[in-house]
Structure 1
Amino acid sequence: MTAHLQPQDTALVIIDMQNDFCHEDGASAKRGLADIAAFQACVPKIDGLIAHARAAGVPVVFVYMTLDDTTKSEAWTNKHGTEMSIVVKGSWGADYYKLYPQPGDAVVEKHRYSGFIGTNLDLVLRSMGCKSIVLTGVLTNVCVESTARDGFMLDYNVTLVSDACAGSSPEAHAGTLANIASVFGNVLDAEQVGAVWRAAAAPIEASA
């Protein structure tokens, strides 16, 4: 299961770690849409993976969501209503939550659940020679799962990090993990992924 984690052809993807989803003053918390504490608990896990990725030469990709009047469709408003205001482009709610891109990281803006729909994520990954993606972030059962499904259908090897993502409920989170493991990719925890990248980074650090 760790064969698809090799630094030379793998990217770490962080999905929607933004104030409106993760901050206690964000839109999700105010509307009681999810367990914000579970989202916040992902931060140290993702942060650790970012450190291991950078040490091993694994590209880091931040995917974030924004919405405005030009990207809200009829289908979107029919489902969520006209009063649903979340990750508004340029707002505090759309800003990153505690984890920020660094020089050299790729950044992809999306307007739908999947990181691949209407974005250049596929182009970015293929330009970097990536055949495998390691997915983290929120929500497990919405944006993370949507990205995992589309990534698999675009022929990427998908790994979902079980304790570096969180869903709208524990049941929804567990359901996605089972679904991904069964059909769309692999499910590992942060320690398992980090161990592979630490081993890959050791010779690099020794020669520095």
Structure 2
Amino acid sequence: MRFDEEQLNPAKAAVVVVDVQNDYCHPDGACARRGEDVNAAKEMVPRLQALLAGARAHDVPVVFVQTAHEKATDSAALTVRSGGRSGVVCRAGTWGAEPFEVAPLPGETVVLKHRYSGFVNTRLDSVLRTLRAETLVMAGVSTNVCVESTARHGYMLDYHIAFMGDCCAAFTQAEHDAALVNIDKYFGAVMDADQLLGAWDSIAPRG
């Protein structure tokens, strides 16, 4: 899928950073401890940092969506997922739930979620509508789980989805690649950070 200049207008965009947290990305986090390969998450962080710097330079809002599991939201379906291993990830108030190498600046919004999609039972849609965002620039981990789930949900709420393939990571390359194919075919436009920042610079040069 391709977007035109209006759909990429930075004045109508918001960056949504999903689940870049210690338990998903850090080599001492819960996912690494259970055997998942988190190297791709570590490797993509510099590209994500460049994307966030560019977004902030263009006054594009950045919204951080973070997982926060707690007893009040631990349904039976959630608890048995992955043989119960998911129940220990990103527990509210723990080190594992803290941001990994990227963090919100003062004034940037954090939305806590309890399911794969950042829109389920959260204030994310209200935040984005208040910002008058029409295009969501999606980044984070895991590509094929929470980032894809949030992007697909956003598309079905009538947002344009600009999916940053080089600013997302999954636990395997195959999972990452399959998610990008699916998003680009049905739910949005897959691009890399340099492409998007170049488009923003051509539409609204930085001061």
Alignment map for 1:110-121 (pairs within 5 Å):
110-121=113-124
Q: 1:56 is matched by which residue type in structure 2?
A: H
- Corresponding residue number in structure 2 for 1:164: 167
Tell me if structure 2 keeps the 8 A contact 1:10–1:59: yes
Q: 1:39 is matched by which residue type in structure 2?
A: A
Tell me if structure 2 keeps the 8 A contact 1:2–1:193: no
- Corresponding residue number in structure 1 for 2:55: 53
- Corresponding residue number in structure 2 for 1:180: 183
Which residue of 9, 19, 24 corresponds with 2:22? 19
Q: Detail structure 1 runs of 4+ shifted over 4 Å in the superposition.
A: none
Count of residue pairs the alignment pairs up: 203
Q: 1:42 is matched by which residue type in structure 2?
A: M
Which residue of 127, 131, 134 corresponds with 2:130? 127
Q: Matched residue of 1:25: which SS?
A: coil
Query: By how many angstroms is 1:201 displaced?
Result: 5.2
Aligned partners of 1:121, 1:46: CA distance in 2, in Å?
Answer: 20
Which residue of 32, 35, 38 corresponds with 1:29? 32
Percentage of matched positions with identical amino acids? 45
Q: Matched residue of 1:148: which SS?
A: helix
Aligned partners of 2:147, 2:75: CA distance in 1, in Å?
Answer: 21
Q: Structure 1: give runs of 5+ residues left out of the alignment.
A: none
Cα displacement string for residues 121-146 of structure 1 (whole angstroms, at most 9, x for unaligned residues):
00000001001101000000000010
Distance 1:77 1:153, change over 3 A: same
Query: By how many angstroms is 1:82 displaced?
Result: 4.3
Alignment map for 1:121-160 (pairs within 5 Å):
121-160=124-163
- Corresponding residue number in structure 2 for 1:70: 72
Aligned partners of 1:196, 1:77: CA distance in 2, in Å?
Answer: 43
Query: By how many angstroms is 1:18 displaced?
Result: 0.3
Tell me if structure 1 keeps the 8 A contact 2:13–2:60: yes
- Normalising by the residue count of structure 2, what TM-score does the alignment of the two structures yield? 0.94
Q: 2:51 is matched by which residue type in structure 1?
A: L
Cα displacement string for residues 11-38 of structure 1 (whole angstroms, at most 9, x for unaligned residues):
01111000001101000111112x2110
Aligned partners of 1:19, 1:197: CA distance in 2, in Å?
Answer: 31
Cα displacement string for residues 46-73 of structure 1 (whole angstroms, at most 9, x for unaligned residues):
1101111111111111110010111110
Q: Matched residue of 1:5: which SS?
A: coil
- Corresponding residue number in structure 1 for 2:201: 198
Query: By how many angstroms is 1:2 displaced?
Result: 5.0
Cα displacement string for residues 138-172 of structure 1 (whole angstroms, at most 9, x for unaligned residues):
00000001001100000000011011001121111
Q: Matched residue of 2:54: which SS?
A: helix
Q: Matched residue of 1:70: which SS?
A: helix
Which residue of 45, 50, 59 corresponds with 1:43? 45
Aligned partners of 1:14, 1:152: CA distance in 2, in Å?
Answer: 16
Aligned partners of 1:81, 1:159: CA distance in 2, in Å?
Answer: 33
- Normalising by the residue count of structure 1, what TM-score does the alignment of the two structures yield? 0.93
CA root-mean-square deviation: 1.3
Query: By how many angstroms is 1:104 displaced?
Result: 2.3
Aligned partners of 2:67, 2:133: CA distance in 1, in Å?
Answer: 22
